[in-house]
């Protein structure tokens, strides 16, 4: 494994769906504390204004207490909402490791409803290419087999 | 609390096909001894023992002595470095979209 190269890049998660509701209705679910709590997680200190800081409480890991710290960086009513999404601790690897990301919601009116696009960006992905290559199919099998034990990991 | 093994140690340990097979075998059993692992595997007990050392160092397995025997079991927490943030949030957001659809149907039927 001496030829192993480890590179780091940032990656993003995108979920893009058309919902059969008006942008104004969806906007309410994204920017009202009570409603956010009903589909995402209950925010603490949320106010729909640029610069607002709020938090979410998630599962702790190691020295990290599980708090996600957010700050609204962009807000265009019925169109766009972006907030930072930070947490984690250096003592952790994988889940619970340092996280410095941005969550962006974009709404656009389309026939039959609204296209809602989520982009969660800024993930630092470590890629150990030769290890991934050599693990190949066998690894998928391991993941399958560990399914039941891995459930206990959280 | 011990620090989790680094991703590097974990990957290196699982990159070896024989060792991965040993790990799969341990995952499938509740507890297993070196002898049982070696039986019919075509791998010697001493080679198996070396693989077990590497898996233990990577935090993937734990052992328990009973009399002359040592039993090995899988340590689910050892896999945590592979359940990374991206994997976590990939699942998380898809689930949240499902919740959001349900909520919208309730408040805007």
The verdict on A77 touching B (C-beta cutoff 8 Å) is no
CATH number of the domain within which A77 lies = 3.30.530.20
Domain of residue A41, residue span: 12-125
Chain B contacts of A142, Cβ < 8 Å? 14, 20, 23-24, 27
Chain B contacts of A149, Cβ < 8 Å? 27, 74, 76
A116: in domain: yes
Flag whether the ipTM exceeds 0.90: no
Among chain B residues, the shortest Cα distance to A27 is held by B104
A46: in domain: yes
Round the average pLDDT of chain A to a whole number and report it.
81
Q: Is residue A3 over pLDDT 80?
A: no
The verdict on B66 touching A (C-beta cutoff 8 Å) is no
Among chain B residues, the shortest Cα distance to A11 is held by B86
A151: in domain: no
Tens-place pLDDT, residues A43-77: 999 999 999 999 999 988 888 999 999 999 999 99
pTM score above 0.80: no
B102 phi and psi angles, rounded to 5 deg: -65, -45
Q: What is the CATH number of domain B7-81?
A: 1.10.10.10
Q: How far apart are CA B78 and CA B57, in angstroms?
A: 10
Choose between B32 and A148: higher pLDDT: B32
Identify the sign of the CA torsion B47, B51, B57, B61: negative
Give the long-range contacts of residues A32-41, CB within 8 A, separation 24 or more: A35/B103, A35/B107, A38/B99, A38/B103, A39/B96, A39/B99, A39/B100, A39/B102, A39/B103, A40/B96, A40/B99, A40/B100
Tens-place pLDDT, residues B44-77: 989 999 999 999 998 889 999 998 889 999 886 6
Domain count, chain A: 1
Q: Is residue A146 over pLDDT 80?
A: no
The secondary element (H helix, E strand) that includes residue B23 is helix B17-28
Residues 116-145 of A with CB under 8 A from B: 116, 118, 120, 123, 125-126, 128, 130-132, 134-135, 138-139, 141-142, 145
């Amino acid at each position: 494994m001496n030829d192993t190269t480890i590179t780091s890049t940032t990656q993003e998660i995108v979920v893009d769906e058309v919902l059969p509701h008006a942008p104004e209705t969806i906007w309410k679910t994204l920017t009202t504390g009570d409603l956010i709590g009903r589909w995402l997680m209950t925010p603490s200190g949320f106010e729909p204004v640029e610069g607002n800081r709020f938090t979410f409480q998630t599962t702790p890991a190691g020295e990290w207490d599980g708090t996600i710290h957010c700050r609204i960086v962009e807000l265009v009513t019925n169109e766009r909402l972006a907030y930072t999404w930070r947490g984690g601790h250096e003592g952790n690897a994988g889940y619970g490791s340092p996280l410095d990301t941005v969550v962006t919601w974009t709404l656009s009116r389309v026939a039959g409803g609204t296209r809602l696009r989520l982009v969660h960006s800024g993930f630092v992905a470590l890629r150990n290419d030769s290890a991934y290559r050599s693990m190949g199919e066998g690894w998928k099998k391991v993941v399958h087999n560990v399914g039941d034990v891995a459930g206990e990991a959280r | 609390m011990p620090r989790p093994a680094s991703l590097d140690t974990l990957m290196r340990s699982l990159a070896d096909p024989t060792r991965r097979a040993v790990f799969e075998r341990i995952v499938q059993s509740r507890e297993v001894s070196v002898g049982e692992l070696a039986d019919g595997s075509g791998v010697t007990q001493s080679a198996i023992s070396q693989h077990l050392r590497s898996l233990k160092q990577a935090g993937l397995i734990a052992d328990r002595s009973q009399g002359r025997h040592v039993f090995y079991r899988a340590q689910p927490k050892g896999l945590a470095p592979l359940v990374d943030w991206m994997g976590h949030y990939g699942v998380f957001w898809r689930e949240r979209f499902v919740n959001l659809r349900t909520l919208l149907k309730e408040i805007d039927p």
